[in-house]
Structure 1
Amino acid sequence: MSEPVRLIKKYPNRRLYDTKTSAYITLGDVKDLVLKFEVFKVVDAKTGDDLTRSILLQIILEEETGGVPMFSSELLSGFIRFYGSTMQGMLGKYLENNMKTFVDFQQKLQDQSRTMYGAADNTHMQTDFWNQFLNFQQPAMQSMMTAYMDQSKKMFQSMQDQLQSQTRNMFTGYQADKPEK
């Protein structure tokens, strides 16, 4: 049986209350829960609205302003441009799937290196593998996106052609009454 979702309440004074430990916690404590893979939900204490994503974004913002940022300004600008576009949902799913693949690959790499070299620190070897993986992935993803765009363009053109044909067929034989003089 899985554990119930850990509930954290956010109060109007911006304090976070962990109902499991019956104590106030910080964003740093929430970050620790994420790092421990704990399942939790943050809700507004007054309205019950789910604030989990908002809190996670706050943690990312603190991390981005604190040390070496993970996201470039160009990447963040690209994210913003996708909001409201028809590709918004697709981008989110794409990023989610790639993150899962990235984490799975990292785990397999760590497991293999432990098997081959024991518990010794092999950070340099892992970095080399990651560089090779990323150098391969970028051209592969560009090729996939180009193929997707070509396919989408062809499908859109086909839909337009069908619509024009149906419109022509609808009005064939229809003759407008000419006004009498």
Structure 2
Amino acid sequence: MAQSRRPSASEDGSTDGNSQRVLKKYPNRRLYDTQTSSYITLADVKKMVLEGQDFVVRDAKTGDDLTRSILLQIILEEETGGVPMFSSQMLAQIIRFYGHAMQGMMGSYLEKNLQTFTDIQKNLAEQSKGLYDANMMNPEVWTQFLNGQAPGVQNLMGSYLEQSKNMFEKMQEQMTKQAETFFPGMPGFGGPKR
């Protein structure tokens, strides 16, 4: 059995400490971390994502950026094991947007919504920090916290969903106006009023 040669750090140009961490994907499906000079697994890449590390995955031969495909592999593994995040109906709706005029807008819409949701999570985590104090850990304090959080979380989520709905409706209005401009008088786009 032939052993794969490990490339040196100088071969990939990643010796600069300020640059993005580079992972190389080889034809044998193995991932090589140029920072640690070792082969890693998808579980290691997932850990890097969870830790918020900035990295890029490159094809070892062509140099093509494979980061998205590796992240999609991690999502696929997470979806097939345990409790999935996406329902079949949601995945089907996402697929329907490919090739649709609003495909590009849908990506930024989902990204903004995920960022808003992440911000809400951070705010809740900040509010609950005091509860981790050993002196504060008693049932009465927890009850007060949870009773106070339920309406707050409901208000945050309600506001978040309303903003999301409004943003999507504005995007639809913009698309309709642009279509009317490009295709005046065409059925389905309104056209000039007489």
Pair in the same fold by TM > 0.5: yes
Aligned to 1:59: 74
Between Structure 1 and Structure 2, the one with more helix by share is 1
Aligned to 1:86: 101
- Offset of residue 4 of structure 1: 1.7
Aligned to 1:71: 86
Amino acid at match of 1:146: E
Amino acid at match of 1:94: Y
Identity %: 50
Equivalences, count:
160
Q: 1:139 and 1:159, CA in 2 relative to 1: closer, same or farther beyond 3 A?
A: same
Aligned to 1:176: none
User: TM-score with structure 1 length normalisation?
Assistant: 0.75
| Structure 2, gaps ≥5 residues long | 1-16, 187-194
Counterpart-to-counterpart distance in 2, 1:155 and 1:44: 39
Q: 1:22 and 1:77, CA in 2 relative to 1: closer, same or farther beyond 3 A?
A: same
Q: Secondary structure at the match of 1:43?
A: strand
- Offset of residue 143 of structure 1: 4.0
RMSD between superposed Cα atoms in Å:
2.8
User: TM-score with structure 2 length normalisation?
Assistant: 0.71
2:48 aligned residue (33, 43, 46): 33
CA-to-aligned-CA distance 1:119-178 (integer Å, 9 cap, x gap): 4787x9498454553344334433443344345435533554489xxxxxxxxxxxxxxx
| Structure 1, gaps ≥5 residues long | 164-181
Bigger Rg over Cα? 1
Q: Is 1:137–2:160 an aligned residue pair? A: yes
Moved over 6 A (4+): none
